[in-house]
Amino acid sequence: MEGYEVIFAGSNFIRLLSGLWVTVRISLISIGFSLIFGFIVGIAMTGRSPLIKALCRVYLEIVRMIPQLVWLFIMYFGVTRMTGLNLSGEAASVIVFTIWGAAETADLVRSAFQSVPVHQFESGRALGLSQFQLYFFVILPQAVKNLFPNIINLATRMIKTTALISLIGVTEVLKVGKQVIDANRYDAPDAALWVYGAIFLMYFAVCFPLSLLSRRLTERKE
Amino acid sequence: MDWSFMTEYAPLFAESARITVMIGGIGTLLALVTGLICAWIMYFRIPLLRQIAAVYTELSRNTPLIVQLFFLYFGLPKAGVVLSSELCGIIGLTFLGGSYMAESFYAALKTVSVSQIESAESLGLSRYQTMRYTVIPQAARAAVPPLCANVIFLLKETSVFSAVSLADLMFTAKDLIGMYYNTTEILIMLAAFYLLILLPVSVLFSLLERRMNRGRI
């Protein structure tokens, strides 16, 4: 059997796709949680309390400074051992990517809110809007326009980073690829070239449309 | 907390930190060169090369480093190209970083307004002089912040190298966890050593940015 035939032999292609779906699903769940927590932290960062600002800053810097793979290890091997919790690889990944994604989202939200001119805040207050009304009806609609392309960019980054979860034992596309290669070790010795090439293109097929969308939105804004 | 364990294995961590910094440093430098070349091609719209650069940046930016490394390390030998894990790491980081650097440099070159270039031309500056005295000094300043962010990003990405059995920090940590099960101590050491590498770089860069912004109108 030729190497490239392995990709489509039997149910291999479906298995690779379902492996890819594991990655995408974990990213989607993490992105959802990140948006929720990121917005809360981001709005807190635009507030007036210097203590909260400082705490958020420290959280952001620590999360960003240490590589995501190290965080995955800390969550999957370290925290589980220290607390006696039994976390699956997928749960550990979702927690890590949410903590990281929320930090990144918060920073994007902060800069988007700060890009709204001060007179918008002042006009809102002058009209007698409450804090909630001010943020919800005046600031948020303007901030979201700046925010959207950046959030999509972040989503692409998160999908790419999710490729790391095979290293803490989650059966995603790279792991499935390895299984396929190992199963065909004798029939198709050069399968690794084709299978890893296919996975490379699969990631590209997921991330490229998102990158394009983000670029279009940025261009339209300008 | 087992302190004697930590002091015993600190030298081993230091050695693998050296490998992380070395491979990361070489990869980042090569990425810088690749980025400069690609940005140059994109800025001057050199035909054919421009299309190649565009395909390269899209492929590199939209795929994870670990998949690129797996292809280099496990895939390419089947086509007769056998690379050591160090070489894989350097090539992978260059391939990934080159596109990030290219986009930053290109965006920086674009910040120099057309009126600047036209003024330079109307003063009789040659094309070389226009670039040398007008465009590059202004673009360089705009390029510093994204450049710093890229360097830190690439240094962090080196943690993936352990997957192609390069004996970096991550690899050592995994190895020690497998041997001694001192998970807590090892993970603390791992995070500490990454901070030891990345914090000084980050502080240095923020000082540099502040310096670059001094005297700016």
B190 touches chain A (CB under 8 A): yes
pLDDT band at A222 (very low <50, low <70, confident <90, very high): low
CB A170 within 8 A of CB A93: yes
Question: Can you give the pLDDT at residue A154?
Answer: 93
For domain B3-212, give the CATH superfamily.
MetI-like (1.10.3720.10)
- Is residue A21 predicted with pLDDT exceeding 70? yes
Note the ipTM here. Answer: 0.88
B67 touches chain A (CB under 8 A): yes
Question: Can you give the pLDDT at residue B215?
Answer: 61
A78 touches chain B (CB under 8 A): yes
pLDDT band at A123 (very low <50, low <70, confident <90, very high): very high
Question: Can you give the pLDDT at residue A202?
Answer: 95
Question: Can you give the pLDDT at residue A11?
Answer: 87
- Using the beta-carbon criterion (under 8 Å), do A196 and B67 form an inter-chain contact? yes
Residue A91: alpha-carbon gap to chain centroid: 14
- Using the beta-carbon criterion (under 8 Å), do A191 and B195 form an inter-chain contact? no
Region A107-129: what's the mean pLDDT?
Answer: 90
> Is A25 in a helix, a strand, or coil?
helix
Residue-level pLDDT, tens digit, chain B, 217 residues: 778 888 888 999 999 999 999 999 999 999 999 999 999 999 999 999 999 999 999 999 999 999 999 999 999 998 888 999 999 999 999 999 999 999 999 999 999 999 999 999 999 999 899 999 999 988 988 898 899 999 999 999 999 999 998 888 999 999 998 888 888 889 999 999 999 999 999 899 888 888 877 765 4
pLDDT tens digits, A53-75: 899 989 998 898 899 999 999 99
H or E, element range at A18: helix A12-46
Cα-Cα end-to-end distance for chain B: 53
Dig out the tokens for B52 from the structure: 């190649």
Cα gap B42→B48, rounded to integer Å: 11
- Is residue A128 predicted with pLDDT exceeding 60? yes
Question: Can you give the pLDDT at residue B2?
Answer: 79
Give φ, ψ of A170 to 5 degrees: -85, 135
Region A100-115: what's the mean pLDDT?
Answer: 91
- Is residue A3 predicted with pLDDT exceeding 90? no
Distant-in-sequence, close-in-space partners of A209: CB < 8 Å, separation ≥ 6: none
Closest C-alpha to A46, from A115, A108, A110: A110
Give the nearest chain B residue to A210 (CA atoms): B62
Question: Can you give the pLDDT at residue A131?
Answer: 86
- Is residue A18 predicted with pLDDT exceeding 70? yes
C-alpha pair distances (Å), A7 with each of A29, A69, A198, A199 = 28, 28, 8, 10
CB B74 within 8 A of CB B83: no
**DSSP secondary structure letter of residue A87:** -
pLDDT tens digits, A172-211: 999 999 999 998 888 888 889 999 999 999 999 999 999 9
Please name each of the domains of chain A with its CATH number: 3-221 (1.10.3720.10)
pLDDT tens digits, A80-99: 888 888 889 999 999 999 99
The total number of residues shown for chain A amounts to: 222
Give B-chain residues touching A199 at CB under 8 angstroms. 67, 70-71
Distant-in-sequence, close-in-space partners of B150: CB < 8 Å, separation ≥ 6: B31, B97, B100, B101, B104
Question: Can you give the pLDDT at residue B119?
Answer: 93
- Using the beta-carbon criterion (under 8 Å), do A70 and B170 form an inter-chain contact? yes
Region A145-161: what's the mean pLDDT?
Answer: 91
- Is residue A157 predicted with pLDDT exceeding 90? yes
Domain boundaries, chain B: 3-212
Closest C-alpha to A203, from B78, B31, B61: B61
